[in-house]
Amino acid sequence: MATEPEASRSKSKQAQCAGTRKDGTRCTARVMGAGSFCYAHDPARAAERDAARRKGGANSATAARAEKLVPAVLRPVLITLLQTLQGAKAGTIEPRRATAIGSVARAIVAVYQVGTLEERLQALEAAQAAQGGSAA
């Protein structure tokens, strides 16, 4: 009734992925979680990998570039607007609804602009005060 160190034994077994690479050699990636494959070779995650690949392809280069130019807080607004545009073009969103979404998006952007302008103004005032701008 010797208690085998079960945990450490299975740990060393799980260290290397059981998958085979495209060139036929054994995958040297480390196993993630309880399975015997790495993320790239786990058959249970094939659907997940496909979905990730499709999602990557669906993000057009233009949309991805536009997203980078927009501040993080406004990205959901941009994405909604792009989806609305697609829907309006395809006829799946009523024109009135698209217009309403556009108005709300404009309002959100306006609030954001006031916020950033206020922030920049305060920074300018602080810089001026630090330079002894009280003489003005």
- How many residues contact Zn ion, by CB under 5 A? 6
SS (H, E, C) 33-101: CCCCCCCCCCHHHHHHHHHHHHHHHHCCHHHHHHHHHCCHHHHHHHHHHHHHHHHHHHCCCCHHHHHHH
Which window, 38-46, 52-60, 75-83, 124-132, contacts Zn ion (CB under 5 A)? Answer: 38-46
Which window, 18-26, 43-51, 62-70, 77-85, contacts Zn ion (CB under 5 A)? Answer: 18-26
Q: Scanning residues 84 to 123, which ones bind Zn ion (CB under 5 A)?
A: none
Other C-beta atoms within 10 Å of 42: how many?
19
Which window, 10-18, 63-71, 81-89, 112-120, contacts Zn ion (CB under 5 A)? Answer: 10-18
Which window, 21-29, 65-73, 88-96, 127-135, contacts Zn ion (CB under 5 A)? Answer: 21-29
Any contact of residue 41 with Zn ion (CB under 5 A)? yes
Any contact of residue 31 with Zn ion (CB under 5 A)? no
Any contact of residue 29 with Zn ion (CB under 5 A)? yes
Nearer to Zn ion, 29 or 88 (CB): 29
Please name the helix (run of DSSP H) or strand (run of DSSP E) that holds residue 126, with its range, or none.
helix 95-130
Q: Which of 27, 66, 74, 88 binds Zn ion (CB under 5 A)?
A: 27
| CB-based burial label for 37 (10 Å; 0-12, 13-18, 19+) | buried
Rg (CA), the chain: 27
Positions touching Zn ion (CB under 5 A) are: 17, 19, 27, 29, 38, 41
